[in-house]
Structure 1
Amino acid sequence: MTVDEVATAPTDAAGLQRSRERIARHLVGRERELELTLAAVAAGRDIVLEGPPGTSKTTILGAITEEWGIPLLFVEGNADLTPAKLVGHHNPARVLREDYSADNFVPGPLVEAMQRGGFLYIEEFNRAPEDTLNTLLTAMADRSLAIPRVGRIRAEPTFRVIASMNPYDNVGTTRLSTSVHDRLNRLAVDYQDSDAEERIVILRTGADAGGTAPLGARLVRDAVAVTRATRNHPDIRQGSSVRGAIDTVLVALRLAALRDLNDPDSPDYPELVYDAMIVALSGRIHLDEALDTTPERVLREIWEDRFILEPHRADPG
């Protein structure tokens, strides 16, 4: 697909349907979220994707921008994201030699996204300072931006502002103004079901094929189960995304090779999973700060629920 072919987003029904079908090949599940996001950006709207990390938000956007042949520019929202970092600045060395001019202006990610017709993806959107977010208002409303000593930058038709926010983490965040909310569509993106997460882990680890089966197949089921359990444990403020399950499987497979363990029915298998959990999950869970406990202790409880209590309930004799 050439640049000329993606100067505007597909708006006819047939074009949108073809785009959706091609984009869906890059995703596991997420049909509804893809369809809604694609509809919003194809309609020329900016959108905030609200959900915890590891819920395929970046994957969806990457697949759409790849389909359209445009860049996806990442920006991390934090207190250090000033308007100058977002918009750009004049090269200080050249300013000393040449004075200010459009030629020595270094575009920031906002201007670059506007000029190239890309998606500006701002993660942790509600951690950015209010004056920085206000810089986006003109770009979103007018699709243009006036920069002193440079002139007016007009956005290409495919330029979009995409924001993400984590509803489970309010530490260090700021409340978005009504003006910002009024210019953004919103879509909640939550965790997928266990079947979809197992398919994601298989895709990312290859654990159901080759020499890893049947060990890999059981590891996938157990890793997804214990990872999902971190999201419901009463001592955990925020649990792990599916990335924790992916890393649990990858680490466990290497541990199994080191320990010469190939049988998932081995009495050593449960401890193998626990050791992998400690490495892959202990840094990804956020405990209730009011409790006197540790990630290792909480993960041991989750492990016991999976490998001691559940088998006992299934076979009470």
Structure 2
Amino acid sequence: MTTNYEIPENITKLLSTYKRNQDSYNELIRNGGYLPPNQELLIDAITALSMRKNILLKGPTGAGKTKFAETLSSLFQQPMFNVNCSVDLDAESLLGFKTLAYEGDKQVIDFVPGPVINAMQHGTFLYIDEINMAKPETLPLINGVLDYRRTITNPFTNEIVTANEGFNVIAAINEGYVGTVPLNEALKNRFVVIEIPYIEGEQLKQLIETNTQLKDRKTIDLFVKLSSDLIQAVYQGKVAEDAASIRALLDACDLSTFIPARRAIQRAIIDKLDEDREREFVLNLTETLF
């Protein structure tokens, strides 16, 4: 027996609008937007957000998770409030804080909303970066924001805040880094997970052409080959993910328009690595190619 699945009308409209506006999306890419490795990655993210589901972008450092979130924000024409997680993240960093203000000559206590409250009240996107850097006891504060309720009781004002139409949540995670903690199941279950792989081959070449000042095709091809070799080295456990960061590679491409490519790679990639053996490995690759 075959089951036919109907795509909800609002998603059909959104996806058809995306296809009709392919030129607009291409313009967004030319202006620094995220170039996905495949069409499905973009469509799946659009679909989830259209259904008001939270998405968790999971992938190696420098693969473009933040840039993808910014691109989705632009496609939905929604501003985006940001939370940068760390071990110091607390309720005030998420929700806001009280401060002294004046009404005429009278001193009053005023509440300044933080990124979560702002995004909910304005009906815009909320981006939570490196969500697994936060202390496990902090994020449960926003569990009600991340599920069907879309509400929170502001502990500073006792006001119940309900998210306005258009509110969406995108989070990003880097796994296995110092200072990160595993997400608890209650939090993870509030997200649809989208794996963000490294960009390679022709797509990386296009990204370099549209997002850096490097225009020499031969040099671009060499940087694409370097990136491919570094990604394989990461998979083989020879170097840390930092070595294959696409962000760092783009920095090296930019620098190489003014200084020799080998020195550009040294500054943008090699000198960031912690271990001597990793630095030596990347240096040998660089000298072989350049």
Specify the TM-score bucket, using the shorter chain as the normaliser: 0.7 to 0.9
**CA contact 2:57–2:195 (8 Å) conserved in 1:** yes
Identity of aligned residues (%): 22
Residue by residue over 1:258-315, the C-alpha shift from the partner in whole angstroms, topping out at 9 and shown as x without a partner, is: xxxxxxxxxxxxxx3322211221244454xxxx5362x22221124435xxxxxxxx
The equivalent residue for 1:116 is 122
For residues 157 and 20 of structure 1, what CA distance do their matches in structure 2 show? 24
The equivalences for 1:194-213 within 5 A come to: 194-208=201-215
Q: CA deviation at 1:42?
A: 0.3
Residue by residue over 1:205-244, the C-alpha shift from the partner in whole angstroms, topping out at 9 and shown as x without a partner, is: 2433xxxxxxx11111112222332333354122232223
For residues 93 and 144 of structure 2, what CA distance do their matches in structure 1 show? 16
For residues 20 and 268 of structure 2, what CA distance do their matches in structure 1 show? 34
Asked if 1:146 is matched to 2:153, the reply is: yes
Question: Cα RMSD over matched residues?
Answer: 2.4
The equivalent residue for 1:260 is none
For residues 152 and 36 of structure 1, what CA distance do their matches in structure 2 show? 32
Consecutive unaligned residues of structure 2, counting only runs of 5 or more, are: 1-8, 30-34
Asked if 1:177 is matched to 2:184, the reply is: yes
Structure with the greater relative contact order (CA < 8 A, sep ≥ 6): 1 or 2?
2
Q: CA deviation at 1:150?
A: 4.9
**CA contact 1:201–1:242 (8 Å) conserved in 2:** no
Q: Which amino acid aligns with 1:303?
A: T
Q: CA deviation at 1:57?
A: 2.5
For residues 293 and 13 of structure 1, what CA distance do their matches in structure 2 show? 51
Asked if 1:69 is matched to 2:77, the reply is: yes
Q: CA deviation at 1:60?
A: 2.8
For residues 19 and 156 of structure 1, what CA distance do their matches in structure 2 show? 24
Asked if 1:254 is matched to 2:258, the reply is: yes
Consecutive unaligned residues of structure 1, counting only runs of 5 or more, are: 1-9, 209-215, 256-271, 308-317
The equivalent residue for 1:245 is 249
Q: CA deviation at 1:131?
A: 2.3
Asked if 1:303 is matched to 2:286, the reply is: yes
The equivalent residue for 2:4 is none
For residues 100 and 10 of structure 2, what CA distance do their matches in structure 1 show? 43
The equivalent residue for 2:136 is 130
* Count of residue pairs the alignment pairs up: 265
For residues 54 and 19 of structure 2, what CA distance do their matches in structure 1 show? 18
Please give the TM-score of this superposition, normalised by the length of structure 2.
0.82
Please give the TM-score of this superposition, normalised by the length of structure 1.
0.76
Q: Which amino acid aligns with 1:106?
A: V
Pick the structure with greater CA Rg. 1
The equivalent residue for 1:277 is 265
3-state secondary structure, aligned to 2:46: helix
For residues 123 and 15 of structure 1, what CA distance do their matches in structure 2 show? 26
The equivalent residue for 1:232 is 232
For residues 20 and 73 of structure 1, what CA distance do their matches in structure 2 show? 27
3-state secondary structure, aligned to 2:232: coil
